[in-house]
């Protein structure tokens, strides 16, 4: 599953939705036998290629990306921007599977960008104080990593943060959400308000909880995915390629539409 949150227009988000998965598949395809081992590097290559092709098309907008691949008990997440992904295992352990690339919350990225010669600071209103979040100048983007944004300079990069974890067979719950959720909820609040509910209802509860204090102020998307132990799954007939179910499914032509329109996703737009 994947989540995009576009900025300065929707073009980059639409382009990435249509092309990023294909680029991942092309990078993984030559090594299908050990695809999980090469997946992190393949994701980095796919993000970079998608960004390069997007800029060649002269698209000026940008997008955050949180890209999640689940193969049985292994979860791999690649992310740029400020949408975030967390995982709560069945034993109560909390995993942060994405990085927040806002300058306000990532000092390492501030140092990286300023080392490139760019300036990081608040908006300077003529004759008044500096206001708002930290931004990169030129361009004024408050994120240090993104797909797209061709006019903000080479310091804003598409190289994703990648994390891969293996769960126990007890399973767990994944929450993927845009900044419209995390601006008003902590990870613990999102887990608490959704705990005990099926994934589709849980996603709705998280969004409703997020917009309760101040109303709908930003793109607000939430996807909840439950990884269930075998005894909680409905029985299904065995298949010839049972051990490679996820990889084979990834090569279906209609996957990108199915993954984008999951019933457990709630997407509210301004």
What residue spans define the domains of the chain?
2-227
pLDDT in tens, 24-59: 999 988 766 788 999 999 999 999 999 999 999 988
User: How far is the CA of 120 from the CAs of 16, 61, 102, 151, 193, in angstroms?
Assistant: 27, 20, 11, 16, 36
State the average pLDDT over residues 100-127. Answer: 92
DSSP characters for 172-189?
A: EEEEEE-HHHHTT--HHH
pLDDT in tens, 207-255: 999 999 887 878 899 999 999 887 666 554 444 334 444 445 554 433 3
pLDDT digits (tens, 9 = 90+) for 169-189: 889 999 999 999 999 999 999
Number of neighbours of residue 241 by Cβ within 10 angstroms: 10
Please tell me the distance from the alpha carbon of residue 216 to that of residue 68, in angstroms, as a whole number. 26
Predicted local confidence at residue 166, as pLDDT: 93
- DSSP secondary-structure letter at 30? G
CATH code that applies to domain 2-227? 3.60.40.10
Mean pLDDT, range 112-124, rounded to an integer: 92
Q: Does 260 score more than 50 pLDDT?
A: no
Split at pLDDT 50, 70, 90, the class of 8 is confident
Lowest mean pLDDT segment, chosen from 91-105, 165-179, 186-200, 241-255: 241-255
- pTM more than 0.75: yes
């Amino acid at each position: 599953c994947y989540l995009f949150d576009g900025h300065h227009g929707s073009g980059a988000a639409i382009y990435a939705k249509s092309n990023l998965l294909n680029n991942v598949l092309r990078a993984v395809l030559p090594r299908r036998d050990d695809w999980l081992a090469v997946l992190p590097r393949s994701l980095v290559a796919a993000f970079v290629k998608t960004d390069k092709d997007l800029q060649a098309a002269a698209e000026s907008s940008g997008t955050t990306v949180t890209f999640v691949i689940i193969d049985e008990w292994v979860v791999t997440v690649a992310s740029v921007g400020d949408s975030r992904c967390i995982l709560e295992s069945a034993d109560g352990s909390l995993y942060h599977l994405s990085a927040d690339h806002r300058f306000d919350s990532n000092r390492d990225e501030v140092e990286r960008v300023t080392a490139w010669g760019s300036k990081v600071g608040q908006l300077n209103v003529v004759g008044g104080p500096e206001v708002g979040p930290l931004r990169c100048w030129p361009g004024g983007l408050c994120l240090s990593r993104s797909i797209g944004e061709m006019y903000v300079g080479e310091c804003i990069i598409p190289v994703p943060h990648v994390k891969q974890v293996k769960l126990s067979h007890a399973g767990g719950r994944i929450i993927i959400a845009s900044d419209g959720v995390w601006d008003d909820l902590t990870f613990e609040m999102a887990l608490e308000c959704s705990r005990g509910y099926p994934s589709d209802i849980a996603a709705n509860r998280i969004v409703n909880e997020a917009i309760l204090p101040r109303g709908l102020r930003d793109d607000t998307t939430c996807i909840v995915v439950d990884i269930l132990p075998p005894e909680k799954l409905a029985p299904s007939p065995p298949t010839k390629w049972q051990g490679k179910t996820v990889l084979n499914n990834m090569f279906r032509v209609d996957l990108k539409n199915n993954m984008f329109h999951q019933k457990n996703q709630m997407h509210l737009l301004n």
